[in-house]
Amino acid sequence: MPITDILERNVNLYGDDVCLVELNPEIPEPRRVTWKEYELIEPSRAPYYRREITWNVFNEKANRFANLLLERGVKKGDKVAILLMNCLEWLPIYFGILKSGALAVPLNFRYSAEEIQYCLDLAEVDILVFGPEFIGRVEEVADEIGKHRLLYYVGETCPGFAEDYTTQAANCSSRPPQVLLTDEDDAAIYFSSGTTGFPKAILHKHRALMHSAAMEQNHHGQTKDDVFLCIPPLYHTGAKMHWFGSFLTGGKAVLLKGTNPKFILEAVSKEKCTIVWLLVPWAQDLLLALDSGEVKLEDYQLDQWRLMHIGAQPVPQSLIKHWLEYFPHHKYDTNYGLSESTGPGCVHLGLGNIHKVGAIGIPGYGWEVKIIDENGNPVPQGETGELAVKGPGVMVCYYNDPEATAEVLHDGWLYTGDMAMQDEDGFIFLVDRKKDVIISGGENLYPVQIEDFLRTNDKILDVAVIGLPDKRLGEIAAAIIELKPDVTCDEEEIDLFCKQLPRYKRPRKIIFADVPRNATGKIEKPKLREIYGATNLVAEQNQS
């Protein structure tokens, strides 16, 4: 069935229950209180801004927007883009689009004006819904993108080049639109991270969204009583597909604006969150805050928090070991996936496999996995090859890009571009991105392996290893190292530490600098190559 049927079911079963809460802890309040004090005061005096809606209101808002789209001539198969920060309006707008028969097209909130226009053109978007944070960027291209598109604004003081979403939707019927949907209807277009240039448009059907909901619930056992804390951006498949597990069971979700460790612990405590999905940098920040005494666990009510899981990037074993020192009762999972596979979960560690931390895990619910060589043949167990996955969540195609589609889809298998190996127990370990492999003096170096080693150094907060051009070896491994606050370390100390590695794996260049990550926590290696690759090339030319 289409994913919209779950919303109708939730309304029938749990209509008056709160389904979504939005927290904005950066809004100043008169005072902050401990969780014990919080229990004794009025909700209106909570120490942060809070909004909530029930399943009835969620559905009503989705229906009103769907009917508005239909009144404005939107037809089944048209596309409606969403450019919003996480907010209470985001998901009802998404489901309103789906209920109208149109395709939802979420956009990355970091896109420049040029990228916004590019994505709207590539996906053949008919309507753009945007928020106040994007007025400037949309205005830059409004004359061009507004020629053939409607622009709806979500927020106060609507700019003159757009129409007001709230006013327009409020005047529309709250009854369900009469649009027949099936599993095989197109549902959404998501964009790749764009780490190799402009992003690609990824087309998914309703059946893929439904499977991601069933898979998430199967992996993490959500019940109606669970409360999911959602911090990552909803435009990304990771955040939304993890929320789908709560959606499937009618559970509550909390949208937290902000990644400060205090914000996270306050939200878990006051909203009684049981499941939290973190990115590696946020988990690291929380551990640093605990180590330094900036936050203290006894100030919060955390007994109900049962599961912490991480995805979107390789997870250092040292991080999870450290995490369990503070939260020994936590279940833990890591989830691997791509937007092309409807987000995380085509491979996952599994709640009972914490002894295999370091692996991305085993095939997820409903998925098949194989590791292949350059000819598409399976490699022997224990050898490195490209990870390929097959299942109900594989994309239909890269929209309007048959060449790129043909490169990654082969007889139902999605070639991920990630290099992996499988151990004797069947657990898969991510080695690196195929395009990130460094070939130095004929040897293949996998940056993730070097990064994992460097992260065991207590002084290192984050690290990225990239290949830089070298006249003699072709490439050399360079480590960009971000140190923890208030520690000192020099190149000589890192070189000495790296003597534990085989000689060919040791970084030949050490750079102390911040490690840039995108909104989903992935290291922006193209940016680092652009900065330091050019610098290294100039240095080589000056030497010659």
Q: 346: part of which helix (H) or strand (E)?
A: strand 343-348
- Summarised one tens digit per residue, pLDDT across range 278-292 is 888 789 889 999 999
The answer to whether the CB of 56 falls within 8 A of the CB of 81 is: no
Confidence category of residue 475, pLDDT binned at 50, 70, 90: confident
Gap between the Cα atoms of 241 and 215, Å rounded: 9
- 219 token code pair: 């992996």
- Summarised one tens digit per residue, pLDDT across range 219-237 is 999 999 999 999 989 998 8
Kind of pairing between the strands at 186-191 and 201-205: antiparallel
Instruction: Indicate if the pLDDT at residue 542 is higher than 50.
Output: no
- 358 token code pair: 């370091």
Gap between the Cα atoms of 378 and 381, Å rounded: 9
- Summarised one tens digit per residue, pLDDT across range 366-394 is 999 999 998 999 999 999 899 999 999 99
Question: Residue 29's pLDDT is what?
Answer: 53
Instruction: Indicate if the pLDDT at residue 1 is higher than 50.
Output: yes
Question: Residue 543's pLDDT is what?
Answer: 45
CATH number for the domain running over 4-348: 3.40.50.12780
User: Per-residue pLDDT averaged across 187-207, rounded?
Assistant: 83
Residue for token pair 């598109």: 149
Q: What is the DSSP string of 294-305?
A: SS-GGGS--TT-
Residue for token pair 């919003």: 84
Q: What angle do CA 292, 295, 296 make, to 5 degrees?
A: 105
Low-confidence winner among 263-267, 459-463, 502-506 (lowest mean pLDDT): 502-506
Task: Give domain limits for the chain.
Answer: 4-348, 437-543
With both helix axes pointing from N to C terminus, report the angle between 4-14 and 237-249 in degrees, rounded to the nearest 10: 40
User: Per-residue pLDDT averaged across 227-248, rounded?
Assistant: 92
Question: What is the pTM for the complete model shown?
Answer: 0.82
- 355 token code pair: 């002894």
Question: Residue 522's pLDDT is what?
Answer: 73
The pLDDT mean for the chain works out to 88
Per-residue CA distances from 362 to 244, 351, 419 (Å): 21, 11, 15
The answer to whether the CB of 312 falls within 8 A of the CB of 233 is: no
User: Per-residue pLDDT averaged across 501-528, rounded?
Assistant: 82
Gap between the Cα atoms of 289 and 367, Å rounded: 38
Question: Residue 313's pLDDT is what?
Answer: 63
Dihedral sign for Cα atoms in the order 182, 184, 186, 189: positive
Dihedral sign for Cα atoms in the order 398, 401, 404, 406: positive
Is domain 437-543 annotated with CATH 3.30.300.30? yes
In 6-57, where do the E strands start and end?
18-24, 49-54
Residue for token pair 């030497």: 543
- Summarised one tens digit per residue, pLDDT across range 8-56 is 999 999 999 999 999 988 776 534 444 444 444 444 444 568 899 999 9
- 530 token code pair: 């652009």
- 198 token code pair: 């402009």
76 DSSP assignment: T
Q: 540: part of which helix (H) or strand (E)?
A: helix 534-543
User: Per-residue pLDDT averaged across 84-101, rounded?
Assistant: 96
Question: Residue 312's pLDDT is what?
Answer: 61
Confidence category of residue 541, pLDDT binned at 50, 70, 90: very low
Question: Residue 544's pLDDT is what?
Answer: 42
Low-confidence winner among 96-110, 367-381, 427-441, 473-487 (lowest mean pLDDT): 427-441
The residue that leads in pLDDT, 66 or 444, is 66
Q: By C-alpha distance, which of 380, 376, 365 is closest to 333?
A: 365
- 308 token code pair: 């912490």
**Residue 476 β-bridge partners:** 468
Per-residue CA distances from 64 to 57, 98, 240 (Å): 10, 12, 22
The answer to whether the CB of 193 falls within 8 A of the CB of 199 is: yes
Q: What is the DSSP string of 82-125?
A: EE--S-TTHHHHHHHHHHTTPEEEE--TT--HHHHHHHHHHTT-
- Summarised one tens digit per residue, pLDDT across range 153-181 is 999 899 999 999 999 999 999 999 999 99
Gap between the Cα atoms of 199 and 201, Å rounded: 7
Q: Do domains 4-348 and 437-543 have the same CATH topology?
A: no
Confidence category of residue 147, pLDDT binned at 50, 70, 90: confident
Kind of pairing between the strands at 331-338 and 307-311: parallel
